[in-house]
Structures are given as structure tokens and as C-alpha cells.
Structure 1
């Protein structure tokens, strides 16, 4: 959109020029290439660090209510010294990607960086945001949640589909031959990782555990208090509820609510993110399984992946795929 505005053409025309579509008039193509060159020149003049092999990388998270993203923000801040050792000057931002105008405004700021590490929301204008940065020579590495249809340079994070399938297998094994309903509670429907977890989970239940019926509860509140109240309505709607899988936040509140109502004995509870609170609930049998990931390690790998692209390192995509960790009562404090 930024290049299109400067060249006075449509976004579709810019795309055709970048694909070297010969049907575009030469004078139009020249305007687009000139706008792109000017944008790159402006970016280069906005104060790169003095050392040629030092780069400015922006870490950007969506402005949504998520304790997990708060955890990520903290680990980005704690990784500053690691990045300095690798000649990366890191900056952190939150952007309200749910608002198209805010996303477009932030792109003017992001274009000044050498690379961007981004946890995206699934909106068309976020894909355009990534496209604009890519056109300006700013590689975008998605982290924790992907946007596979976009022009991002790479994704760094666990395989969320596999994580969901793992949760589905564990749910089926825990419930055995019991018959009933399993609820899949998801937070933001705009986070691709939560959609992938839900898909993987439902696939395994449909393939191997036909005794279980699953129902999706999308856009489920992720704060503990709200989630605890909401699960009471879930129990009222599904009297045969035997399992709950939480793809996002709020599992601590759900666990407390199930314990207080006396329903935990009949409901298997599985979710994500191992914290001090969820570890304690695992030990107390309020939660049955927690799936977790190495958040700080993923932050580090994402920064290094961006650095590899900037240094034109062969094998830039050879970043290890992080493993999903499984925590049960027995290893809750391991």
C-alpha cells in the first residue's frame, strides 16, 4: 500500500510490476520502481548503526489481552544482552493489528528497521503490511503464530498442528472408552497457532477416538476470571462433558472453577503454557496435561533467523524446529 500510494497506482498494479508483468505500461512500471527505490533510500538513511554488520530488528506483538504474549514481551526484554552479543539492536513494539489504520500507520515506523520479527494476526491488511516490508527489503520473520499465506521470510516456532494432535492423543488416552463431549476452547480466532491446534486436536479425535464428540468454543475469554465463569455455562450446555482442551489462555481459571464446582473428577483438562500457577495445579491434579514451548529460545532463534537473512547466510532457514514439551503431575516441577 505504501509503494502504491507513492507511485499513484493500485496495490494490484504494484504486484504486477514486481512480478515483471509485461502488460503494465513502461511509464507506470518506472513510477513503481522509482517509488520503491526512494523508499529503500529513506530506510537506509534513517540511522543504521555505524558497524556494517550490526542491524536494527523490531520485535512486534499484537495488542491483545494474552498472558502468553505478556510472557513473550518479558523474554524479548530479557534477551537484549543476547542480541547485543550477535550485533543486533532490538526494539519492541505492540501494535493493534485488528485496526487497519493503525497497522498502516505502524508500517511507516517499521520500514526504518533492517528486519522485523512479528507475531501476526490473521487479517488481510497484516498480510499487506508484511508484503510492503518485503518489497522494501525488510525481511519479516513470524514467530509463535504464523501467517503462511503471506510473504514472510520464515516462521520460527513449534508446529502448532502437531501440538494440537498431541493434545488430542493425550485426551483420548486419558478418557479411554468413556463416551461424551470434549470442548475445545480457543482465544483469538485471528491467531493462526490456535486455529492449527484446534484442527490438529479434532483430527485425532475423528481418526482414533470416535467415542468422543468435540465442540468448538471460539473467541473464548483468555483471562482467568472470565474463563472460570464461562466454563460454568459450558457445563450447563453440555451435561455429558468429559474433557476440555484450552488452545490459548485461561486454563488456570478454568481449573479453579472445575475444582470449586466439583466437576474436575469427571473432566480431563489439557492446555498450554507452563507457569508457576499451572505447575501447582498439575501437582494438585486440577490440570491433567500442560503442553509448553521454550519461549526465550524461540525469541533468540527468530532474531538469529532475521540476522541470517540480512547477512545473506546460506541455510537461513536451517533454524531448529522447537519441540513441544509435555508436563504431567509427575514432572510438574522438573
Structure 2
């Protein structure tokens, strides 16, 4: 503590107000970018939804028109078959008429019967011609209807293509907006990471000269033997001394942390992989590691650390630092880890 107090007056510049302003500006910028993105996403989503409904209706109309066209084509084929049959009958009647006339000209008997037959055939021929004319009229009408249906299908396909082009344009706008938002967010995250690294760096400077503390990345590691008796969650006198030093350092740093930074100290309890005997207060390593973490949290609270800045977690033997069953590995894995992070 004396070393820390001697160092503090040598600081010529207080950087924290600048950090507070930078963080406030950063948060406002992120909120503005997110708001613009959400509004743009909402508008584009509504536009795309409307385009999808139009596309669905157009596809439904195309299906109906296709079915009608198929039905009309079937009717046209039936009428064409009827016309062909009528024409064949007409040709047969004309052939028969020609044969009877030839017989009549030859002066054969049964002239009256032949004339009657010719009259009947002529009448049938006229009827066949009338039927053929009606069939041709129907075929012509069907051709006109088919042409109209094709025209409608072409118009629907043109509208569908135009709608797809608009949809592609909307998708391109969304993709561009997403890319720009990702770039902006990446820049903001980099700034936040730099600020967080500076925060952890200052805490390491304060705790780096403490005995029985190892710094592993952004965690501060205490061996369980330093803090607790074997199989017990109660801090021993040496452990209370170390935790008191930590509480003092933490309170000193907390005074300089801007209120905008929502930080928390997580206390993680870890054990080795040796099962408990089952005759003590705890039946397994889960309970022992959790109880030790809670014990550290309660002690820090008793020394003035705000309770809403502390979290306790027990991991048992399932997060070892050094895998293996050697005594050295087990001793390394019996530990309490402290990690400062943001909520």
C-alpha cells in the first residue's frame, strides 16, 4: 500500500474523464447506428413482405391461367377431332354421291331410289357442312381465348419479373446496410476491448506485487492451501490476510472506475479430482468448491466491497489448469480464481 501511495502523486495527467467522455460518445454512436439499422430493417422487411404477397398472388394467377389454358387446349383438340371426323364423313358422302350419280348416268334401274338416296345424302351433306362450320367457329373462338390467355400470362410474367428485380434491389440494400453496420460495430468493439485491456492492466499493476497470487491471463489465482484448511470452506488467518489485501486494492481501483462501467468480480472455486470421503460437511467437490467461493465473497462484502459487484461460482474438479493425477497437478488445480469482467 505504501508503494501504491508513493506512485500515485507522480501521475501528472488524469485520464479517466477522457475515458468517460470517450465511452459515452461510443455508446451514443452504437445506439444511433443500431436505431438506424432497426428502422431500415423494419422498412425493408415490410417492403419485402409486400413483394412476397404480390409474388404469391401472381404465381397463383399463373397457375390458374395455366390450368385454364390446358383445359382450353383439351377442348380445342376434341373439336379438331370432331371436325376431322366430320370432314371424313363429308368426303365419304361426296364419294357415295358421285357413285350414285355415275350409276344414274349409266341408266341403270332404280332411278327413283337413286334420286331419293342422292337427296338424303345431299341433306346429310348439308347437315355435316353446318356442323363443320359450327365446329370451325368454336375452334376459332378457342384460338382467340388461347391468345388472350397467352397475353395475360405474358403480362403476369412481366409483372413477376419486375417484382423479382425490386426484391433483388431490396436484398442488396439490406446486405449493404448490414455490412456497414458490422464495420461500425467492429470498430466500436475494438475500442471497447482496448479500454477493457487498459482497465485490467491497471489492476494487474496493483496486484502484481502481492505474494501467493498468480496472474493467468485476466484471472488472479490463489492456491486453496493458502486460503483454506483441507476440506474446509472457512478462510484461515493467512487467507483472511490475503483477501483483506485484495479487498483494499479492489476498493482503491473501484474509486477510479467511472460509474458507466458495469463491472463485477467473479470468484470461482476449483478442486482436484480426488473424491471426498463423504463423512464431512460436503458430499462432493461441487459443494466444497461452491462453498469456498461463497466464503470469499462474504469476506469481501464484510470488508466493504459492494455485494452487487461480486459473483460466486463452483466448478468442482471439472475445470483443471493442469490435467493429470500427479500430486503437483492436483495441487495446481486446487485454487480460487478471481476475474474482473463486465456484466
Answer yes or no: same fold by TM over 0.5.
Answer: no
Instruction: Looking at secondary structure, tell me which structure has more strand per residue.
Output: 1
Q: Classify the TM-score, shorter chain.
A: under 0.3
TM-score by length of 2: 0.20
Instruction: Looking at secondary structure, tell me which structure has more helix per residue.
Output: 2
Bigger radius of gyration among the two: 2
